[in-house]
Amino acid sequence: MTGTSTQIKTTAAQLPQVHETRNPGMDLDMDWVASVQANTSAIERRAATLPGRRSVKKEYQAAWLLKAITLIDLTTLSGDDTPGRVQRLCAKAANPVRRDILDALGVGPIHTGAVCVYHEMVETAVAALRGSGIPVAAVSAGFPAGLSPYRLRVAEIGESVKAGASEIDIVISRRHVLTGNWRALYDEMREFRSACGDAHVKAILATGELQTLRNVARASYVCMMAGADFIKTSTGKESVNATLPVSLTMIRAIRDYHQRTGHRVGYKPAGGISKAKDALVYLALMKDELGDRWLQPDLFRFGASSLLGDIERQLEHHVTGRYSASYRHPRA
């Protein structure tokens, strides 16, 4: 088990993070936005090859799955959320894998990247996670539709920050993208960023409602120009959430923005990622397109609620050679 433990520790360890200067944004460059195109057929062909391009097995797979856990925004966004449920979710975030499994793998404690909740549950989550080093993310700005009065959306951001959220997942107004009103999207995102203060802002594009990959690409650029720290695919409430073609489009926009400005922006696929094998595909995609630096929690997150359970089952299978029932790995 020595070689196994060494590989797992090397890949999965939560190393000291390199915290860079936040993306400050820039003036809206309409010439740049207008020049952005998306070759849909080429993107879809490339995306179709991704699941078969990288295959990791045995201790290497276990190592990458542990890495994936450290990148999860463990999420509960249900109408029946209660303080008790959120407290249990926070306990799971702080101890995402059973101790006996970690001991068998030869690694120390790990935790998820964040816990994501509605504004009403921010104070509960902050109290439950105090001292753990795990940030609380709040969905805001009229989540999930983004159609509440504008002043209330801005005020909601401020209230979540005041309650202790250090990350804010905001939803953009899709109509600005669908009508090509890039100035309105830029101004909206800029004000949302300002309202977040020191809290990092993830711009949710709701890509399943943007109709074309070109719209996805242009919206990505505009939000980054306006100062988004992350761009995120979905709320998880749309009929179509994170997909590989959308992810490839957004990741390449991030790469181009970094090459032109020197500023790194994070990426968060959300919705529909529930299997360990899917997490491995996204990790390989990030490594191939953006490099190892984007495999840290300050630049990559999974928005997921059920992914953790399947990863834990796969880790137990690696240790014991048997698949256990899902109820042995409760989310909360």
> Which residues have a catalytic role annotated?
169, 232, 268
Q: Which residue has the tokens 């020049």?
A: 35
Partner residues linked to 202 by β-bridges: 169, 230
Task: Name the CA radius of gyration of the chain, rounded.
Answer: 19
Alpha-carbon distance of 208 to 312, in angstroms, equals 29
Quick one: DSSP state of residue 300?
Answer: B
Alpha-carbon distance of 195 to 185, in angstroms, equals 15
Can you list the positions of beta strands (E) in 118-189? 136-140, 167-171
Alpha-carbon distance of 88 to 287, in angstroms, equals 33
**Crossing angle of the two packed helices 213-225 and 244-261, in degrees rounded to 10:** 40
Reduce the secondary structure of 193-248 to three states and give it as a string: HHHHCCCEEEEECCHHHCCCHHHHHHHHHHHHHCCCCEEECCCCCCCCCCCHHHHH
Spatial CA neighbour of 169 closest among 142, 147, 133, 209: 142
Alpha-carbon distance of 119 to 137, in angstroms, equals 9
Total residue length of the chain: 332
266: part of which helix (H) or strand (E)? strand 266-268
